[in-house]
Amino acid sequence: MTAPRVSVLMPVRNAGPYVADAVRAMLAQTFADFELIVVDNGSTDATPDVLASIADPRLRVTVLPGSTASPRRGMPPSRWRGAR
């Protein structure tokens, strides 16, 4: 399997009401050679369950460790995690 041509990073935190629509909109793009990396920055709502319910091989979900203790870490750690 070859790496996708494009990696899209979507940081989220407590986005349960919106994250499914956002992910599905991204996955519905006509350009298909991409991966969507969703980085959960310590959600305490239904966000993890919503993300787990979406089955698409282009979707990768990761949770920042310890992010519930410091929710404002936000974008920089998300970028670091997504770049790995």
Q: Output the domain CATH number for residue 33.
A: 3.90.550.10
- Number of domains, the chain: 1
Q: Per residue in 27-83, pLDDT tens?
A: 999 999 999 999 999 999 999 999 999 999 999 999 987 655 455 555 555 555 555
pTM given for the model: 0.77
Does any domain span residue 74?
A: yes
Domain annotation covers residue 31:
yes
Got the DSSP string for 12-33? ESS-HHHHHHHHHHHHT-S---
* Domain boundaries, position 47: 6-83
pLDDT value, residue 67 = 54
In a domain, 59, yes or no: yes
Query: Considering the domain boundaries, does residue 65 fall inside one?
Result: yes
Whether 1 is covered by a domain: the verdict is no
Residue among 72, 69, 13 at smallest CA distance from 40: 13
Specify if 73 maps to a domain.
yes
